[in-house]
Amino acid sequence: MDQTLAAEPLPQPSASRAAQVRRLDALGAPARGRLRAAGACTVLAGWLLIAQAALIAFAVQRALVDGHDPATLLPTLGALLGVGVLRAGLGWAAREFADDAVATIRTQLRRTLARRLFAAGVPWLRRQRSGALSELTGTHVDVMEGYFTGYVPARVESVAVPLLMLVAAFFADAIVGAVLLLTLPLIPFFMMLVGWSAEAASRRQLRALARMGGHFADRLRGLGLIRVYGRGEDELDGIRDAAEGLRTRSLKVLRIAFLSSTVLEFFASVSVAVIALYLGLSYLGMLDLRTEPLTLGTGLFCLLLAPEFYAPMRRLAAHYHDRAGALAALEEIEQSSPPLEKGGWGDLPGARQGHSQSQSLRDSRPPRSARETRGGASAPSPRFSKRAGAEAPAIIVRDVALRHLGAAYDVLRGLDLAIAPGEHVAITGPSGCGKSTLLETLAGWLPPSAGTVRIEPATRIGYAPQRPFLFHGSLADNLRLAKPDASPAELQAAAEAAQVLRFAAHLPDGLDTVIGERGFGLSGGEARRVALARVYLRDPGLLLLDEPTAFLDPDTERALLDALADYARGRTLLIATHSPAALRIVARALPLPASPETAE
């Protein structure tokens, strides 16, 4: 498959409408050949209408005026049947090519959006509403279907088919050709006027849809809390108002679409009526603008051709709101998706974070590291023996200041830290002093506001946060996020070492038990143990663990720490903890002072 779209960033918004259309057409690059084939089939089917009208007019002229034997018309009727079958086949082929092309375009566009979102990094993603982002890859991408399967073929057809029909009309009768030529410019002019309103209405509709999607997704996640606080009726009223607003905006889009079709139908009908009036008056002898009499075949040919002359533009008008919607959707995607770093996206596994960070930390971050949710790494053996490739790194922190996202103050200032390769260190201190923030910075989730962080050499990082994210699916599926091809023995070993089997053994299906989104169905301590097992499968050289023993009973905590101490041999370990038991498995503790605001 052509990777053009996946390799190049989406262009940034531009005020030029022509530039917007070029960017929209550029999305079709992965399926350019199929789109051209669809357009060619559509144009050929339109050209065959001229032959079809000529065959009908010829048959009527010979049968009704010239008085030929009906048997002599059989070849003409056979040719007419062949043309009809060929037109039907071309129409089917055009639709197949267009559908196949748009399937590729949507897949590539979603892949590109996913690359952009993954490259943005955790700091940017945490500030977004997941419901609104899902609308970008869902509804906004689906809007492109009408443009590529409807508007693009109609645009080609409206240029190539009427032009040849106009030539044929002038050849048959100059007056009919002149009428068609004079009425032709009116239609694009009014379509352009209506199209501006359609694009603005479509943009408002898509924005309302994205807002409603984000709002509804957030309320579903917090449904339990809403019920506890008795806010159910108020939230229902809010959803009802949002749905009504979306309905109103959708009806405005439909009204403009119907208006554009009505305008075109009016001018097309008037033009056909003028041609019919001219032909009728000519046959009645009340109008004589020709040097020779008008035959029935010629008049019928012109009358059959006139409505078909406007048919491509009717279809173009019918799909004009698809163009407006696609332009609005592309602009929303460009404005709502994360900004790009200069120089493009890079490949997904080694993509840079989408935020500003010290160059030293960026240089030390390896491909396929720093994010727990990125798989593809080799896992340890079931006994977790040290791999030669998982080299323990040294960590050097110089005069670093750290700040929570959106905070007005630094939680840590002037931090200096040096950790030797393979050293085990516990980070301690009161709640709010910055333990989790420091681990997030070392994992690459958060840039320091000042100072430098180096991890030498670049190595694979395993990070188990305090609030790990678990996906809807089985426990085994969540573990395989770290290694999709993990064997059952490896899963069993990782789960046993992280004490997951202590509770999984009592579940209906063991590790195959399905849990809800964000770990629904598990306690906080159980979710952290699943995250720790996921880290074990990742086989990192650097372990960053945030309160892994919180909420555990003493026996489970002791077993988990024993397995952790065995696994961490030959690896660098940083563990944020309040547990005295955890301090016994590390070489030293690093106490962090309380931040000024926390101390107050």
In tens, the pLDDT along 142-171 reads: 888 888 888 888 888 888 898 899 899 888
Identify which of 523, 518, 481, 471 has the alpha carbon closest to the alpha carbon of residue 500.
523
Task: Please enumerate in sequence order all residues whose Cβ is within 8 A of that of 55, keeping only pairs 6 or more positions apart, or say none.
Answer: 76, 79, 80, 83
**What does the pLDDT look like over 331-384, one tens digit per residue?**
777 777 665 443 333 332 333 333 333 333 333 333 333 333 333 333 344 455
Q: Answer whether 567's CB lies under 8 Å from 402's CB.
A: no
- pLDDT recorded at residue 107: 86
DSSP per-residue letters across 112-133: HHHHHHHHH-HHHHHTS-HHHH
pLDDT (average), residues 124-128: 70
Over 80: is that where the pLDDT of 578 sits?
yes
Structural domain boundaries in the chain:
11-186+258-336, 379-599
Mention the CATH class of domain 11-186+258-336: mainly alpha
Residue 336, Cβ density class (10 Å: 0-12 exposed, 13-18 middle, ≥19 buried):
middle
**What does the pLDDT look like over 299-314, one tens digit per residue?**
888 888 888 888 887 7
Separation of CA 67 from chain center: 65
Torsion angle in degrees (nearest 10) through CA of 437, 438, 444, 449: 80
- pLDDT recorded at residue 566: 92
Question: What sections of 444-553 are H helices per DSSP?
Answer: 475-479, 488-497, 501-504, 524-538
**What does the pLDDT look like over 64-105, one tens digit per residue?**
887 787 788 888 899 999 999 999 999 999 999 999 988 888
- pLDDT recorded at residue 338: 66
Distance CA 277, CA 445 (A): 75
Sheet holding 572-576, edge to edge: 461-464, 542-546, 572-576, 424-428, 588-591
Global pTM reads 0.59
- pLDDT recorded at residue 496: 92
Separation of CA 338 from chain center: 12
Distance CA 435, CA 419 (A): 16
Residue ranges with strand state E in 384-487: 394-402, 412-419, 424-428, 450-456, 461-464, 473-474
DSSP per-residue letters across 176-215: HHHHHHHHTTHHHHHHHHHHHHHHHHHHHHHHHHHHHHHH
Which tokens hold the place of 339? 């900004």
- pLDDT recorded at residue 580: 92
Identify which of 453, 451, 460 has the alpha carbon closest to the alpha carbon of residue 372.
460
Identify which of 334, 325, 540, 361 has the alpha carbon closest to the alpha carbon of residue 440.
361
Question: What sections of 291-399 are H helices per DSSP?
Answer: 296-318, 320-336, 359-364
Which tokens hold the place of 392? 């323990």
Of the ranges 120-129, 205-214, 454-463, the best mean pLDDT one: 454-463
* 450 beta partners: 401
Question: What is the CATH T-level fold of the domain 379-599, as seen in this structure?
Answer: Rossmann fold (3.40.50)
3-state secondary structure 216-277: HHHHHHCHHHHHHCCCHHHHHHHHHHHHHHHHHHHHHHHHHHHHHHHHHHHHHHHHHHHHHH
Over 60: is that where the pLDDT of 510 sits?
yes
- pLDDT recorded at residue 132: 67
Tokens 């305090």 appear where?
466
DSSP per-residue letters across 31-70: GHHHHHHHHHHHHHHHHHHHHHHHHHHHHHIIIIIS---G
